Copies of this chain bind each other. A is one copy, B any other.
């Protein structure tokens, strides 16, 4: 082994580096960051099952730039050959960490501590890693407290990229594609199969949904899914609940498309009346139990014991007493329900779906359905092989999904 110049470092990576397009990304980032590379060794996976192994010498103009360059390689699974423990430094104040703190990705992360590799808990992106009592976990910056030991730099940090799952045949036709010109029926069948597979092994299905499911008349179909036990939690905002209850009480729903820009009538009495009725009861659950609200998605959530979280937004009227206008609390509740999710289905709500995407580790399967291809691309393209996008009418999708999973109901 030759002695390395201080501007150089040898990193290693292994896995499906070719299939998952990781190798060219490694090369790209070296060049983009002003460095150069030389492949010391590369063993290609000779068949579809074998992994590849890379040993790469990278160089940068200065040691500082080398450090920065190495930071960009960590998310791609590159790690120094010579292993060291992570560098820990204390947070100088609540919410304030050292400048060279390690900022997480959404991929599985290991840190080396006391010579052993330990997996980081609560994986999510844009967090810091705190080590406490031999346990490493992701912590949102705002939750860091003075004196907590925070991982800094990239030594002793290793990422396990999500490799592309080429052989899995379900959805293979849709992988990396977003198109309305596709057999939606096939996508529905495969979504149903995935839901069943998750439920058969007692997994958890979390749905993030916007008010469109009510406006399109798919409320009863969604209720059938709730009653069938296919939904373990519903994450949404004020609007879904308001319009669902408006529909239950007065037979109308706002019926206005944020996407298509249909003119908003001035003033919408019925949705305000719905909020007033729930205010009087005290909460959605009380309104259902006292018989004020007898049908709809929210009523079925209450009756079936499916927990829901309604996160507030700056545009909310009312809101309902159940809507969390404190977003710190809303994010915490969302995260709690997502912690053990096996499958997340996102139905026509870009705002809440982005929020959910930020909280999820890369390996949780997500299916994103929206009539707007730009939204689907945005949400399904989280650098993860696990995200599938379907461009179609969300009302019809939910209708067909219910017919597939709960045949008698629809």
Contact = CB atoms under 8 A, between A and B. Distances in A.
A366 B37 CA distance: 31
A374 B265 contact: no
Contact of A75 (B42, B107, B267, B396): B267
Contacts of A261: 373-378, 381
Nearest to A276: B97
Given A186-B217, A263-B381, A181 B257 contact: yes
Interface stretch (A5-13, A18-26, A78-86, A112-120): A18-26
A300 to B, nearest CB: 19
Chain B CB count within 10 A is highest, among A27, A37, A255, A262, for A262
A126 B260 CA distance: 22
Nearest to A71: B269
Contact of A93 (B39, B271, B280): B280
A125 B266 contact: yes
A264 B381 CA distance: 7
Interface in A1-49: 18-21, 23-24, 27-28, 31, 36-39, 42, 44-48
B371 A371 contact: yes
B99 A273 contact: yes
A313 interface: yes
A255 B396 contact: no
A256 B181 contact: yes
Contacts of A198: none
A19 B23 CA distance: 8
Contact of A373 (B177, B354, B374): B374
Contacts of A67: none
Contacts of A395: 181-184
A245 to B, nearest CB: 14
Interface residues of A, number: 122
B24 A180 contact: no
A179 interface: yes
A74 to B, nearest CB: 9
A408 interface: no
Interface string A371-387: 10111111001110000
Interface stretch (A199-207, A226-234, A325-333, A339-347): A325-333
Given A315-B351, A355-B315, A182 B266 contact: no
A216 B140 CA distance: 29
A106 interface: yes
Nearest to A376: B261
A294 B45 CA distance: 45
Contacts of A362: 266
A180 B260 contact: yes
A304 interface: no
Contacts of A186: 217
B265 A373 contact: no
Interface in A220-279: 237, 255-269, 271-273, 275-277, 279
Given A257-B181, A399-B185, A48 B24 contact: no
7 contacts: A19-B27, A140-B317, A142-B318, A179-B215, A179-B262, A261-B374, A374-B374
Interface of A: 18-21, 23-24, 27-28, 31, 36-39, 42, 44-48, 71, 75, 92-93, 95-97, 99, 101, 103-107, 125-126, 128, 140-142, 166-167, 177-186, 211-212, 215-217, 237, 255-269, 271-273, 275-277, 279-280, 311-319, 321, 325-328, 330-331, 334, 350-352, 354-355, 358, 362, 371, 373-378, 381-383, 391-396, 399-400
Given A39-B45, A93-B279, 11 more contacts: A18-B18, A31-B48, A39-B46, A103-B268, A106-B267, A141-B272, A182-B217, A260-B373, A261-B375, A263-B381, A327-B327
